[in-house]
A = this chain, B = another copy of it.
Amino acid sequence: MGRAAARALKEYPDLECAGIFSRRGAAVCCEGADVYPLSEIKNFKSCIDVLLLTMSSSDLRAFSPYLSQHFNIVEGFDMHENVREHFLSVDRSSKRNKKTALICAGWDPGLFSLIRLIDSAFNPFGRCFTFWGEGVSQGHSSVIRSVNGVQDAIEYTIPDENAVNAVKEGNFAGLDKFNMHKRRCFVCLKEGADRESIAEKIKNTEIYFKGYDTEVNFTSCEEIERRKQHMAHKGAVISNYPNAADGALMEFYLNMESNPDFTARILLSLARAVHIMKKSGDFGAKTIFDIKPKWLIMGEDTLKFL
């Protein structure tokens, strides 16, 4: 995603890439931007308006509170169960140092969160459902990779068509997290590993797979490598308030050629907003719900979108 952001930056006349900072230092190669070791980042305090953190959530837990002491940041923390704790921790460090820190940015959380809030504001007595996929879930893929005997793996989350139609028709009864999505796994085994027992182990992994309609396919590591190159992803937020005289059905569908590239565009757009908030003295941890929409775009003329 860092590379994607550097690529996208070149197309925005109002934004500029000050550099890429990596824990692997200059070993990371990124066309069109200078790469520095992360350890040197504090020397760049004067030339970075906003820092995009494109790390995993487990890294962000420590890095966002730390780096938001020194920089205005945009990051994509996505561990829903730990959001409040993370918010407070980033809020403390950024406020104390007069920095602005936008957390949980991306397409979900982020764009989809915004759509969910809008749906809930305008359709307040309706119900709002989110579907992810068909697309690769990094979290589920790495859970499979951690199973003993697995060499490599990739998981696709697939919305159940019947569930999507049920929401659109307002038949919410019986919908639960287990029947809204299917899980399709492709697994490359280590030599000598037992297919049957590994398939059982995957299907019974609590939280991630147990209770879901999970399909486990065994294949070569080359096939998985090939699949990893396809970064497309999709999702939908659907709000319905059926059988009401003032009810509405709102459907938002997103279909990305490349998950990291589109997510990078969202982070860059939010970086504009962070810069504006910081300049106006609005410090601390923020979410997309704190952002005036007009801050997201290039230029000042918003009336044309009316």
Q: A251-B253, A297-B117 are in contact. Are A11 and B305 (CB under 8 A)?
A: no
Contact of A303 among B125, B287, B293 (CB under 8 A): B287
Verify B252–A251 contact, CB threshold 8 A.
yes
Chain B residues with CB below 8 A from A264, complex form: 246
How many Å lie between the Cα of A82 and that of B290 in the bound state?
30
How many Å lie between the Cα of A289 and that of B245 in the bound state?
29
Instruction: Kindly provide the distance from the CB of A14 to the nearest chain B CB, expressed in whole angstroms.
Output: 11
How many Å lie between the Cα of A80 and that of B304 in the bound state?
9
Verify A248–B244 contact, CB threshold 8 A.
no
Is A114 an interface residue, CB under 8 A from the partner? Answer: yes
Verify B303–A83 contact, CB threshold 8 A.
yes
Verify B246–A4 contact, CB threshold 8 A.
yes
Is A87 an interface residue, CB under 8 A from the partner? Answer: yes
Chain B residues with CB below 8 A from A114, complex form: 118, 293
Verify B305–A289 contact, CB threshold 8 A.
yes
Verify A113–B305 contact, CB threshold 8 A.
yes
Instruction: Kindly provide the distance from the CB of A140 to the nearest chain B CB, expressed in whole angstroms.
Output: 20
Chain B residues with CB below 8 A from A4, complex form: 246
Interface string of A277-306 (1 = CB under 8 A from B): 000000000011111111011100011011
Chain B residues with CB below 8 A from A296, complex form: 117-118, 121-122
Is A258 an interface residue, CB under 8 A from the partner? Answer: yes
Verify A250–B249 contact, CB threshold 8 A.
no
Instruction: Kindly provide the distance from the CB of A5 to the nearest chain B CB, expressed in whole angstroms.
Output: 10
Is A247 an interface residue, CB under 8 A from the partner? Answer: yes
Is A166 an interface residue, CB under 8 A from the partner? Answer: no
CB proximity to B under 8 Å, residues A243-284: 244-258, 261-262, 264-266, 269
Verify B269–A121 contact, CB threshold 8 A.
yes
Scoring A8, A104, A245 by chain B CB atoms within 10 A of each residue's CB, the highest score goes to A245
Verify B245–A124 contact, CB threshold 8 A.
no
Contact of A293 among B83, B124, B266, B289 (CB under 8 A): B289
Closest 9 CB pairs of A and B: A246-B261, A121-B296, A289-B294, A249-B255, A117-B305, A109-B306, A251-B253, A289-B302, A289-B293
**Residues of A in contact with B (beta carbons under 8 Å apart):** 4, 7-8, 11-12, 80, 83-84, 87, 104, 109, 111, 113-114, 116-118, 120-125, 244-258, 261-262, 264-266, 269, 287-294, 296-298, 302-303, 305-306
Give me 27 A-to-B residue pairs in the complex whose CB atoms sit less than 8 angstroms apart, sorted by A's number. Answer: A8-B246, A11-B124, A11-B125, A83-B306, A113-B305, A114-B293, A116-B305, A118-B293, A121-B293, A122-B265, A123-B265, A124-B297, A124-B298, A244-B257, A245-B261, A246-B258, A246-B262, A246-B265, A247-B256, A248-B254, A248-B257, A249-B253, A287-B303, A287-B306, A289-B292, A289-B302, A290-B292
